[in-house]
Amino acid sequence: MKGFLQIHDPLKPKGHAVGIDLGTTNSLVAAVVSGTPGCLAADEGDARLLPSVVHYAQTGGVVVGARAVELLPQFPTDTIKSVKRFMGKSLGDVETKKLGAYRFVEGAGAVRFQVAGGQPVTPIEVSGEILRALKRRAEAHFAGKVEQAVITVPAYFDDAQRQATRDAGRLAGLEVLRLLNEPTAAALAYGLDKGVQGTYAVYDLGGGTFDVSILELVDGVFQVKSVGGDSALGGDDFDRAIAERALAAFSLDAPTPGEVARLLQLARAAKERLTDAEQTTLELDGRVFAFSRADFDGWIQPLLQKTGVAVRRALKDAGHQASDVKGVVLVGGSTRVPAVRTFVEALFGQRPLSDIDPDQVVALGAAIQADLLTNADRQDEVLLLDVIPLSLGLETMGGVVEKLIPRNSAIPIAQAQVFTTFQDAQTGMDVHVVQGERELVNDNRSLARFRLSGIPPMAAGMGRVQVTFSVDADGILSVKAKEQTTGVEQAITVKPTHGLSDEEVEQMLLDSIEHGEADIQRRLLVEQQVEAQRVLSDARKQLSENGDLLSPDERLAFEQGIAGLEALAASGTDHSTLKNAIHDLDERARPFVERIMNRAIAKAAVGHSIQSF
Which residues have a catalytic role annotated? Answer: 21, 84, 182, 204
Give 176's strand partners.
Answer: 149
DSSP state of 80: E
Q: Is 148 helix (H, G, I), strand (E, B) or coil?
A: strand
Q: Are 250 and 351 in contact (CB under 8 A)?
A: no
Q: Do the strands 26-33 and 16-21 form a parallel or antiparallel pair, or are they unpaired? A: antiparallel
CA 226, 229, 235, 241: dihedral to nearest 10 degrees?
A: -150
Amino acid at 392: L
In 3-state terms the chain splits into helix, strand, coil percentages (rounded to 5) of 40, 25, 30
**What's the start-to-end Cα distance of the chain, in Å?**
70
CA atoms within 13 A on the CB side of 126: 31
Residue 452 in contact with residue 468, Cβ under 8 Å?
A: no
* The pairing of beta strand 489-493 with beta strand 392-396: unpaired
* φ, ψ at 519 (rounded to 5°): -65, -40
Burial zone of 475 (CB within 10 Å; 0-12 exposed, 13-18 middle, 19+ buried) = buried
Handedness of CA 187, 189, 194, 195 (dihedral sign): positive
Cα(390)–Cα(156) distance, rounded to whole angstroms?
Answer: 8
Q: How far apart are CA 483 and CA 437, in angstroms?
A: 28
